[in-house]
Structure 1
Amino acid sequence: MALSETLEGGAGSRFVQNVVFMRHGDRIDNFEPLWLPNAARPWDPPLTDAGKIRAWCTGKRIRREGFPIHRVFVSPFLRCVQTAAEAVAAFCAINDDPAEITSEKAVIDPSRVKVSIEYGLCEIMSREARIEAPPKDGKWFIDISEIEAIIPAGTMDRSVEPIYHEPPKWEEDVNAARQRYKDVVIALANKYPGENLLLVSHGEGVGVSVSSFKRGTLVYEVEYCAYSHLQRSITRVPGQQATVEEFQVVTKNGRTGVQFMSQE
């Protein structure tokens, strides 16, 4: 749980920081065989309608975890942007009506969450991620104005400086991508140590967020909209440098769509 606790004797304060790492929802090319051969942007599939519903419902589930999400960072691939839009609407919904299964009628308070694009959360930029070739015009993603039109109005924060200013180069090594995912988790958490974060990315990133912070763990399945939950304590004492503990994996095996096993 995210909390700010005053230490005994006024000696400082302790904050528990939460980072949630979420995979995008159901991508259309896995469900509609005719979509891919006719797609103008085959490397960047959107969500299915079911994927949007799953993302909305997962956002509501994260909302009930017991801590607020302050900032959302998103891979610029369309499926992640659409996933983030549904989750953010769920976080910002003024009335958390359990009967609603989509964000269509949601009335939101956009001041609750701020959203930014983070290129460090991109898919693995190689054939390992089912990307056959880079776009001929070099344009991997839709324009930022189009992204803003998808994200709930008033929640986009374009003033945030990304950790990675551009996407990884084509034919990225898988191990390098895994290290990238780990690095961006730590960098974003350190940049916003007093806030809880949601990172919306890809399946490999969710797996890395567990295996990198839970030693000896093998992640073998990450479902659509699965998410991991990392947590650490930060202690601040006046006149001293803050003490930051290592991240702990709070996620229970299989509970949030991530399945893993110990290799030790």
Structure 2
Amino acid sequence: MESAKANTNGHQNVIVMRHGDRADYCEPLWDLTAVRPWDPPLVHDGKVRAFQTGQRIRSQVGFPIHRVIVSPFLRCIQTAAEVAAALSAVNLDDNAMSSKDVPSIDNSKLKLAIEFGLCEILSTVAIKSEVAPKDGKFDFKISDLQDMFPEGTVDINVDMACKELPQWGESVEGFKERHVNTLKVLADKYPSENLLLVTHWGGVGSILYKYFKDATKYFVDYCGFIELRRQVSKNNETEEFEVVNSHGVAFRENKVPIHGPVIT
């Protein structure tokens, strides 16, 4: 991986990605015995997909990732951990299926952090009332989540763009605005770095609505992502982002890709 200071081509790149395959959608009875039924993990196939998406990003996007910033939900944390392993592998084996298959990893340059602003919409739009916390409080133990990241990658000095989680009952418009604002705050904070934001379907869609006006109805596959780019001057003055590519993102009606092939 290149260092952040090496990103001097005049552009900043940001990838906004959905998490991998979640347990409650793959195993319909999972939430009946879960301690935290509102916070499902990835299934095995989700971890494999996340790792392979990291391989794809490393080999195909044409720019290095300097920083990965993640929603605190477990499925996003696990996705980021697998992607980071693929990005940091010293000798990446194209046949490797997950982080367990990569014995040699260099985490000296890639940094990971958790961001409340990238979390799921905290309402019944995305979380069924019967599985949501009865008191409306979603507890995340940040230190425990950070322990899931590859060793040496956690940036403990980062301040979150959103200092607190949204309140239960968040509106859809508030959710969209939160994601757009979080992207802007994080990108402006690290203008010389390329970022990977790991979030949820709605988070990817919120950014599409903002920067790709034709994306009125869309489909986002597990680990689907969009690539954004903007001009950055030497004194860190920036232009507006534009969507330049996507993988696993398509118009819903006929599955026509938005700037790129759909992952199946």
Partner of 2:8: 4
1:53 and 1:184 map into 2 onto residues whose CA distance is 28
Greater Rg over alpha carbons, structure: 1
Flag structure 1 segments of 5+ consecutive residues without an equivalent.
Answer: 6-14
Partner of 2:14: 19
From 35, 45, 48, the counterpart of 2:43: 48
Cα shift readout 1:231-258 (whole Å, capped 9, x = no counterpart): 001112xxxx543111010125xxx111
From 31, 50, 53, the counterpart of 2:26: 31
Change (3 A) 1:244 1:171: same
1:259 and 1:219 map into 2 onto residues whose CA distance is 9
1:190 and 1:145 map into 2 onto residues whose CA distance is 26
Matched position secondary structure for 2:56: helix
- Please tell me whether the aligned partners of residues 73 and 118 of structure 1 are also in contact (alpha carbons under 8 angstroms): yes
The answer as to 2:76 corresponding to 1:80 is yes
Post-superposition shift, 1:127? 0.2
The answer as to 2:63 corresponding to 1:67 is yes
From 245, 250, 256, the counterpart of 1:259: 250
Residue identity in the other structure for 1:93: A
Partner of 1:164: 162
Post-superposition shift, 1:137? 6.2
Partner of 1:110: 107
- Please tell me whether the aligned partners of residues 18 and 229 of structure 1 are also in contact (alpha carbons under 8 angstroms): yes
**What is the percent sequence identity of the aligned residues?**
48
Post-superposition shift, 1:43? 0.4
Runs of 4 or more consecutive aligned structure 1 residues displaced over 3 Å after TM superposition: 136-139
The answer as to 2:125 corresponding to 1:128 is yes
From 53, 57, 62, the counterpart of 1:58: 53
Residue identity in the other structure for 1:115: L
Cα shift readout 1:19-67 (whole Å, capped 9, x = no counterpart): 0000000000011122111111110000000000000000111112111
Cα shift readout 1:133-181 (whole Å, capped 9, x = no counterpart): 6424665244223212211111011110000011111000011101111
Residue identity in the other structure for 1:251: N
- Please tell me whether the aligned partners of residues 16 and 204 of structure 2 are also in contact (alpha carbons under 8 angstroms): yes
Matched position secondary structure for 1:198: strand
Matched position secondary structure for 1:45: coil
- Please tell me whether the aligned partners of residues 69 and 113 of structure 2 are also in contact (alpha carbons under 8 angstroms): yes
Residue identity in the other structure for 2:249: V
- Please tell me whether the aligned partners of residues 211 and 219 of structure 1 are also in contact (alpha carbons under 8 angstroms): no
1:3 and 1:72 map into 2 onto residues whose CA distance is 16
Supply the RMSD in Å over aligned alpha carbons: 1.8
Cα shift readout 1:86-115 (whole Å, capped 9, x = no counterpart): 001111111111011111032211112100
**Pairs within 5 Å for 1:137-148:** 140-148=138-146
Partner of 1:11: none
Partner of 1:194: 192
2:89 and 2:236 map into 1 onto residues whose CA distance is 34
Matched position secondary structure for 2:232: strand
- Please tell me whether the aligned partners of residues 44 and 141 of structure 1 are also in contact (alpha carbons under 8 angstroms): no
The answer as to 2:85 corresponding to 1:89 is yes
The answer as to 2:206 corresponding to 1:248 is no
Cα shift readout 1:206-241 (whole Å, capped 9, x = no counterpart): 1122221112432420110000100001112xxxx5
From 179, 201, 208, the counterpart of 1:181: 179
Flag structure 2 segments of 5+ consecutive residues without an equivalent.
Answer: 1-5, 258-264
Give the alignment's TM-score, normalised by structure 1. Answer: 0.88
Change (3 A) 1:196 1:62: same
Matched position secondary structure for 1:226: strand
Aligned length in residues: 245
Matched position secondary structure for 1:110: coil
